[in-house]
A and B are shown apart, each in its own frame.
Chain A
Amino acid sequence: MAIENTQPRLSSELHALAPQLETLGDEPYYRPCGGEVALFEAAWRRRLPVLLKGPTGCGKTRFVEYMAWKLARPLVTVACHDDLSTADLVGRYLLVGEETAWLDGPLTAAVRAGAICYLDEIVEARKDTTVVIHPLADTRRALPVEKRGELVHAADGFMLVVSYNPGYQSVLKELKQSTRQRFVAIDFDYPSAAAEAEIVVRETGVAADVAQRLVRVAELTRNLKGQGLNEGASTRLLVHAGHLIADGVAEREACLAAIARALGDDAEMAMAIDDLIRAVF
């Protein structure tokens, strides 16, 4: 006699697991610093994948969010790490009861739905993982799902966006030519001083002169890049400091916590950055 199946129906359970693709409702704040918006739109219309280059915290992720909103596409973001396997991107079989069931990974889901798929810090991913995006990043625009013997053709509107930080000096963290030459590259850098101050004001609500001084601090720390610091203070750190100040934390205290200590652990360097902060505030 068969035992009554008390398990939930496969499809409904899997539905809960499947990636939810939605378009962004509210306009994310992004301040264009050049022709990047037009360039991105052109690439999207022409179905070209885009590579965003730039230091950490300069607005790459925010830019992609803004563009997804502007183009009214769902956005799938994957933060790459050195254990990211092909299955994590493409999908895998899961066990449900005694059966296997296929679950699309974020990349496959984006390909089917015509979403924008953003692979953040692509160089962090394993080399063999990086290769699965190759057929998606040229005219084929298709993703082979080997385990199912399926070739998923990208829906209209699908776009692949990857980002990487060329600041990594390590030879291990380089993008292969065969990968990078598939992309339209957009360079990102910290915004100009005026634009950066505007961003800090807009994001945090601090007074304009405070924002200008924060930007000045950032410039001074960026001078230290390569001389004991791997990176100078990013716009993101300035926004953090601005938030703390807007919330009533003393200016120097906020800079110390959000900038000096965030940049590194070396005690002498931290003191020097503190000196620079004190010189400005």
Chain B
Amino acid sequence: MPSSDAASRLTLDELKSRLDDIFYLDIVGGRSYERLLDALVLLPRPKQDFALHWGKVAARTDVEIGYLVIQLAPEALRTMAQPQAERWVIAALDEYDGKGARAAVASLRDIGAGARAGTALRLDGIEARLAHFVQGLSGRPLQIAAGAGGDGAWTDTATLHLPAQIAAADAVGRYKALAALLWAQTRYGTFGAGLEETLAAVGEPARASAWLALLEALRLSARLARDLPGLGAALADLLAELPPQLDAARATLARPAASVADSLAWLPRLMDCAPPAAAPFGPLRAQLAMQARAERIAQDKLVLRRAIAGLVAALGKAGSGETAIDIAMAADAGELRIDGEVVALPPDGRAAAQSLIHDLGEIPPECMTPAGPGAWTPTAHDGAGPTAATTTAADAVYDEWDYRRRAYRRRWCHLYWRDLPPGDAAYVAEVRRRYALPIRQIRRRFEALRSEDRILKRQPDGGEIDLDALVAAIADRRGGEDADERLFVRRSRDQRSLAAAFLVDMSGSTKGWVNDAEREALVMLCEALEMLGDRYAIWGFSGWTRTRCELYRIKDFADRYDEAVQRRIAAIEAKDYTRLGPPLRHLTQLLLREPAKHRLLVTLSDGRPDDFGDEYRGQYGVEDTRQALIEARRAGVRSYCVTIDRHGADYLKHMVGPAGYTVLADVAKLPLKIADIYRKLTS
């Protein structure tokens, strides 16, 4: 062993002082940390560093967990490489976030499982990809969810329930094979009409459902292997785990013509044996599936009939129901004829028709009558937003970045939307009067920015000849001078395809001057933006811990700048804390839905992110905000922060580095500066 390693190793005293830093006291939960010192002192330096770093990270969440991480780190590092051991700690912290201290301790102690989890593929890491995959297979969206425990995969035909994690050499392949087989259940007739009754007739429905799931896996994997040969190897791996009682059925069910009836025919031969305790597929849940299927069929029928009604109306046919209209659809939903005229279904109608063919094998004839108006209102539920009193579930849940773990805390922040009570109607008019002169100036400056053709004269190239320039050039040349060669006129059009969202800090620290300045700034901004015609939204935010982050709608993209909006601007007031990450993430999502070439997210705040009690006010909040801004930039949203903070600039550069920013030392300047800042950003 080279002596340098021993020399760089932390001594007992150094370790003790590091542990003091982490735990503050030398007693943790009644134990001395002598044991930790014993465990650490003989480790090589990198492992000591690992244990201390992750112990410190975990201790921030819970001191006990931190203690345990350091205590178990030597053993963990014997069996795992460092990156894997990192995942071991993060998995435990996730458990803590989700289920509490007891689960976290159990997860840490089970180092063997930690090692397995370290290599296992978690569903949430591959979920989006799998969702696209099954959408590609099926042509209609299927939800993906982590399955319940060791029951094996199952589906209710709307959601595919898959294992939360898979530890296998080809975990991705296994996930794909499971998902494809479950999709095949929904596509190739496993849940035909009367399945529940048939299963009940066999006796012992639980056992029958379990066996039928495995028989269907045989039938459907043969079917899939023909259609999607690339999945063959992964499917074969799955089938290898099926119990030997099924071997006799393989050949029959692999025939191209095999249907669910063949699987059902085999069922009685298996009913004497208990189904295997652990199989890749859980028992079929016929009742849930039939229910989901019935709901979907009813919904699809309505959508289709509504689409047909729209077409009938568009064709000018009387849809009173008394005059019979001849409507017929080709078997593959490819063509619809109304009174012999071929018409194209709108996309939602076509999707519904295809979905019906998946479920029923045909378009039910009752769909061929148009639904009356108002039969179904898809937007019925998103009328008036929920109020604080009625809201129980969060309107949105967002991940939060924990810089110490270098990982997201999943579904960590609960975001609610709230409506501001209308404020003083006279407020905006009063601000307008007070700032009449600056508003006039702003309007004039912004008028010049509006999207119009500008004619640029004397250009080196362009669509037209600049006759003035030409005459001058000829005159110059005749006079023996060098002639200007820029003889063209060019039209230049800056089309402003821009959507801007403004996020306004409504935390307690804005009380007073800052809040006044923000409200006035918003009035000035609205004046300017109305002149420009850009699409814009204004949201306020505040909150109280991660379980109550709040967004206040002041103006949504679709809202007009009317009295209601003006009253809400007047009603902006200082509330609680500044957890900046979740509102940034949500506004990024809102902006992405806007059909604009450029998307801009502007934050108005009065300083450092901060939240009640927990660690958000420190480096943690700065890092999460930074991460949210990086996410926005990756998604194609440009962000900009306007901060009122006299002594802020130290952390700001790091926090808003991914965005651009302006720091205003003088609050009173905000209303006058804001429009100019916006103009510079967008011209």
Interface residues on A, range: 35 or more
A276 touches B137 (CB 8 A): yes
Task: Tell me if B229 and A98 are in contact (CB < 8 A).
Answer: no
B586 within 8 A of A: no
State whether A92 and B474 are in contact (beta carbons under 8 Å apart), knowing that A223-B136, A268-B128, A281-B230 are contacts in the complex. Answer: no
Cβ of A221 < 8 Å from any Cβ of B? yes
Q: Across the interface, which residues of A come within 8 angstroms of B344, CB to CB?
A: 187
- B230 to A223, Cβ gap below 8 A? no
What does the 1/0 interface line of B21-35 toward A look like (CB < 8 Å)? 000000000000000
Tell me whether A275 and B133 are in contact (CB under 8 A).
yes
Chain A proximity mask over B111-150: 1 for CB below 8 Å, otherwise 0: 0000000000000000011111101111101000000000
Contact across chains for A100 and B465 when beta carbons are under 8 A apart: yes
The CA of A86 and the CA of B176, in the complex, are separated in Å by 53
Q: How far is the CA of A275 from the CA of B129 in the complex (A)?
A: 9
Q: Is the CB of B135 within 8 A of A223?
A: yes
Say if the beta carbon of B347 comes within 8 Å of chain A: yes
Q: Which residues of A contact B493 (CB under 8 A)?
A: 83, 126
Contacts A279-B231, A281-B230 hold; do A170 and B595 have CB atoms under 8 A apart?
yes
Residue among A98, A126, A221, A272 with max Cβ neighbours from chain B (10 Å): A272
Segment 73-93 of A: residues with Cβ below 8 Å from B: 82-83, 85-88, 92-93
Q: How far is the CA of A272 from the CA of B487 in the complex (A)?
A: 54
Do B138 and A279 touch (CB < 8 A)?
A: no
Q: Are A271 and B595 in contact (CB under 8 A)?
A: no
Cβ proximity bits B623-637 to A, threshold 8 Å, 1 near / 0 not: 000000000000000
How many residues of B are counted as interface, with CB atoms below 8 angstroms from the partner's CB atoms?
Answer: 34
Q: Are B497 and A272 within 8 A (Cβ)?
A: no
Residues of A within 8 A of B131 (CB): 272
* Contact residue among A88, A172, A223, A226 (Cβ-Cβ distance under 8 Å from B463): A88
Is B228 an interface residue, CB under 8 A from the partner? yes
Pick from A226, A276, A281: contact of B133, CB under 8 Å:
A276
Contacts of B495 in A (CB 8 A): 82
Residues of A contacting B228 in the complex (Cβ-Cβ under 8 angstroms): 279-280
Contacts of A93 in B (CB 8 A): 464-465
A118-137 contacts to B (CB < 8 Å): 126
A279 to B231, CA, bound (A): 5
Check A2 for interface membership: any CB of B closer than 8 A: no
Asked if B560 lies at the interface with its beta carbon under 8 angstroms from chain A, I say no
* Binary contact readout B493-504 vs A (1 if CB under 8 angstroms, 0 otherwise): 101010000000
**Which listed residue (A87, A95, A273) contacts B136, Cβ 8 A?**
A273
Residues of B within 8 A of A172 (CB): 497, 595
For residue B603, give the distance in angstroms from its CB to the closest CB of chain A: 26
CA distance A269 to B136 in the complex (A): 11
Cβ distance A129 to chain B, nearest Cβ, rounded Å: 11
A-facing residues in B458-495 (Cβ within 8 Å)? 463-465, 470, 474, 477, 487, 491, 493, 495
What is the CA–CA distance of A87 and B491 in the complex, to the nearest angstrom? Answer: 11
Minimum C-beta distance from B605 to chain A (A):
31
Q: Roughly how many angstroms separate A187 CA and B334 CA in the complex, as a whole number?
A: 14
The listed residue (B129, B347, B497) touching A268 by CB distance below 8 A is B129
Report B's interface with A, CB cutoff 8 A. 128-133, 135-139, 141, 172, 176, 180, 227-231, 344, 347, 463-465, 470, 474, 477, 487, 491, 493, 495, 497, 595
Q: A227-B132, A227-B135 are in contact. List 6 more A-B contacts (CB 8 A).
A: A98-B477, A221-B136, A223-B139, A224-B132, A268-B129, A277-B230
List the 9 closest A-B pairs by CB distance, nearest first: A272-B132, A223-B139, A279-B228, A87-B463, A220-B136, A279-B230, A278-B230, A268-B128, A85-B463
Q: Which residues of A are at the interface with B, using a C-beta cutoff of 8 A?
A: 82-83, 85-88, 92-93, 95, 98, 100, 126, 169-172, 187, 216, 220-221, 223-224, 226-228, 268-269, 271-273, 275-281
Q: List 8 A-B contacts (CB under 8 A).
A: A223-B137, A223-B139, A224-B135, A227-B135, A268-B128, A268-B132, A275-B129, A280-B230
